A = this chain, B = another copy of it.
């Protein structure tokens, strides 16, 4: 591979001049710029990004940690981040933490050791204290879908409490009052907030929250099936089921039908996230839209603005969920 040195020789200028036409920040006369560009073309020159990084102390890479590389939710998130960053010539180094504390810490260490210019984290298992500490280090850290105390400016988050409220409120408005709730893992902030919204909506409607109509799921299909099984076996009356995400709602739908329920007649179900497949369940899933792709774009923009000093980036830190009405919730009356 041709180096900058060979280009400079061929063009008859110094190394520094070539470097300056590559980086087009400092001024070079049109004449020399052309000479250099010709030489670059002739040699098929491509700057060595590693050498650039070493010399400039900039790797032009952004680390991303998500819980899982698969899964519709993270897919949308990564797609948003990558698209935005790639358009700016930056690249993403992606790894995953599987929602486990050790693996998340491990992943973060890994990204730091790769000399990213910044990292964007979707972490769930690690504590706020750890993150606050992490932010004291020299690596800039940003958070997706998580609001870390005192680090608001580094967070892109969804109002999960509102989402939880919206879900429950919409079900209540359809005349349901005995409502079962399958939450995500209690240690996850998302779960907690969505549940809080649920409780607020119940309270607003003077309905008591019942422990027996609560189940802690795992945010996966199994959480939905296990939860519904639990409720059915406990022989309680309930006409609606709220699932803290769409995967669990899917699991619940599948399990419910296996148990002979006619959906949505026998049971209304609402999900959360509005993943792409939500429109292909039967009945089509009513859910809460989580604009995670947009949020991914925004996280990337935040990095572009703060780290790469790009102008004209208007940042929104907080996003609002909205109700998507389909067929899985019906009027009780």
Contacts and interface: CB of A to CB of B under 8 A. Distances in A.
Interface of A: 1, 46-51, 53-54, 59, 61, 68-72, 74-76, 78-79, 82, 86, 91-96, 110, 112-115, 138, 221, 250-251, 253-254, 257, 276-277, 279-282, 284, 293
Q: How many copies does the complex hold?
A: 2
A289 B14 CA distance: 59
A221 B280 contact: yes
Contact of A79 (B68, B93, B110, B253): B68
A7 to B, nearest CB: 16
Main SS at interface, chain A: helix
Given A49-B114, A61-B93, A277-B277, 14 more contacts: A47-B113, A50-B59, A68-B75, A70-B72, A70-B76, A71-B75, A72-B75, A78-B94, A82-B94, A82-B95, A91-B114, A92-B94, A93-B93, A250-B277
Contact of A50 (B115, B221, B257, B281): B115
A76 B71 CA distance: 8
Given A95-B91, A253-B280, A280-B250, A79 B69 contact: yes
A280 B251 contact: yes
Contact of A82 (B46, B53, B69): B69
Contact of A46 (B51, B113, B277, B280): B113
B82 A75 contact: no
4 closest Cβ pairs, A-B complex = A70-B75, A282-B282, A69-B79, A250-B280
Given A92-B93, A110-B91, A277-B280, A54 B50 contact: yes
A302 B218 CA distance: 34
